[in-house]
Amino acid sequence: MSVIKLALPKGSLEKATYQFFETAGYTIKGQSRTYRPIINDSSISVKILRPQEIPKNIQEGTQDIGISGEDWIRENKANVVKLLNLEYGKVRIVVALPDANKSKNFSSLLKNHIKDKKQLRISTEYLNLAREYLLNNEIYKKKYGNKSPSIVTPWFSTGTNKDIKVVFSFGATEAKPPEEADVIFDVIETGSTLAQNNLKVVDTIMESSAYLIANKTALKDPKKRQKIYDVISLCKGVVEAKSKVHIFMNVKKNNLERVLKIIPSLESPTISELSRDEWYSINTVIPKDEFLQILPYLRKYAQGLIVHRPVQVLPLEKIHEDEGK
């Protein structure tokens, strides 16, 4: 079997990624000392990279699969296959203004700058997302059409609309207003850092979470594809388990059909006859949010109810269907 190259993110996604992979059954050692840690699967080689870099590296084939935020996949316009939303690292890319600014949203801010004939300065790490957001804004389109905003970095400048200046931020974007920027496009989890810096969120550009992504060519390679789908299976098992509970219960024969009508399951529950006459055991996995709804009925018709949270729930039939596409 071919060795697949797996890129894992450093920085804000790092801790949650290692916890996720540990839950999936992988052990990664040495990540604190090297950018090439060892994983307990000889068919996988790991490299640690910044999440900003991973989508392009996957696209170019220097890595086969990897984990990055959806925000960086879009920012890089990366031509990759999005395999699975891992449902952690949830953040928002937002528009934030100084508290003193009376504008209720970005459009009203832009209107005021157009009216006052003042250049609007935007600070952000997300240059492509900023450009896309501006070109889709109705006020911007009405005034400037498809004219690209001025984008300024230490390495290059582009765009012809000098009224709107988007400046690349190396970080600490929340510190830029009001001296260096009128508005920022920044990433937040709770927004507390913005609030501490006297900024308010007025718009959301996008929501993002960690994604497992793959190189298109690697996914077509029969040997690599097999190993990639092993990784998908284990990761999907972790994602599925977060929303499920595993329940065991004993039920009298005369209540069996009543219970079976009310409990959902992945396919169908496992039913076993007990040594005690007229009693059955039911074993199944159900959605967590449905458990509380059916609990009153289970208390009425079942005995010996045991509930535990599964580590992984692997919907293998669905994965086989996807692999065959």
pLDDT digits (tens, 9 = 90+) for 100-123: 999 999 999 999 999 999 999 999
Q: List the domain range (segments joined by +) for residue 219.
A: 4-87+210-240
Is the per-residue pLDDT at 317 higher than 60?
A: no
Q: Are residues 114 and 177 in the same domain?
A: yes
CA gap 67, 73 in Å, rounded? 10
Residue type, position 244, single letter: K
Q: Which of these three, 187, 208, 229, is where a domain ends?
A: 208
Q: Which residues pair with 233 in a beta bridge?
A: none
Give me the CATH number covering residue 286.
3.30.70.120
Instruction: Tell whether 107 and 200 lie within a shared domain.
Output: yes
Q: How far apart are CA 45 and CA 63, in angstroms?
A: 10
Q: Check residue 266 and give its pLDDT.
A: 61
Single out the residue of 66, 75, 56, 83 nearest to residue 13, CA to CA.
66
Q: 276: Cβ–Cβ under 8 A, 6 or more apart, which residues?
A: none
Which residues on neighbouring strands pair with residue 214, listed in sequence order?
A: 65, 81
Domain end residue (candidates: 190, 219, 240): 240
- Looking at the structure, tell me whether residues 203 and 233 fall in a common domain: no
**How much is the average pLDDT of 118-133?**
97
Same domain, residue pair 277 and 303: yes
Looking at the predicted structure, is the pLDDT value of residue 261 above 80?
A: yes
Residue 168 identity: F
| In a shared domain, residues 57 and 150 | no
- The answer, yes or no, to whether residue 61 has pLDDT greater than 90, is yes
- The answer, yes or no, to whether residue 265 has pLDDT greater than 90, is no
What does the DSSP 8-state code read for residue 241?
A: H
Does residue 318 carry a pLDDT above 70? no
* 157, 297: one domain: no
- Nearest-angstrom CA–CA distance, 227 and 1: 8
Residues 262 and 308 in one domain: yes
What value does the mean pLDDT take over residues 257-271?
Answer: 82
Task: Say whether both 113 and 196 belong to one domain.
Answer: yes
Q: Is the pLDDT of residue 155 over 90?
A: yes
Q: Are residues 172 and 256 in the same domain?
A: no
The answer to whether residues 39 and 184 belong to one domain is: no
> What tokens were used for 229?
């789908």
Number of domains present in the structure of the chain:
3
Residue 320 has pLDDT above 60, yes or no: no
Average pLDDT, the chain: 92
Collapsed DSSP state (helix, strand, coil) of residue 110? helix
Which of 208, 230, 255 finishes a domain? 208
Q: Find the distance separating the first CA and the last CA of the chain, reported in whole Å.
A: 21
Which contiguous run of DSSP H or E holds residue 83?
strand 81-85
Q: Examine the domain organization and report whether 319 and 275 are in the same domain.
A: yes
Write the CB contacts of 183 (distance below 8 Å, at least 6 apart in sequence): 95, 96, 97, 106, 109, 120, 121, 122, 123, 177
Count Cβ atoms below 10 Å from residue 89 Cβ, excluding itself: 24
pLDDT band at 267 (very low <50, low <70, confident <90, very high): low
C-alpha 316/C-alpha 301 separation (Å) is 32
The upper half-sphere exposure of residue 229, i.e. CA atoms within 13 Å in the direction of its Cβ, equals 19
Q: Give me the pLDDT at residue 207, please.
A: 96
Residue 177 belongs to domain with CATH number: 3.40.190.10
Give the pLDDT band of residue 292 (cuts 50, 70, 90).
Answer: confident
Distance CA 127, CA 278 (A): 68
Q: What is the pLDDT of residue 32?
A: 82
CA angle 291-295-299, nearest 5°? 150
Q: What is the pLDDT of residues 196-245, one digit of tens each?
A: 999 999 999 999 999 999 999 999 999 999 999 999 999 999 998 898 88
- Please check whether residues 82 and 119 belong to one and the same domain: no
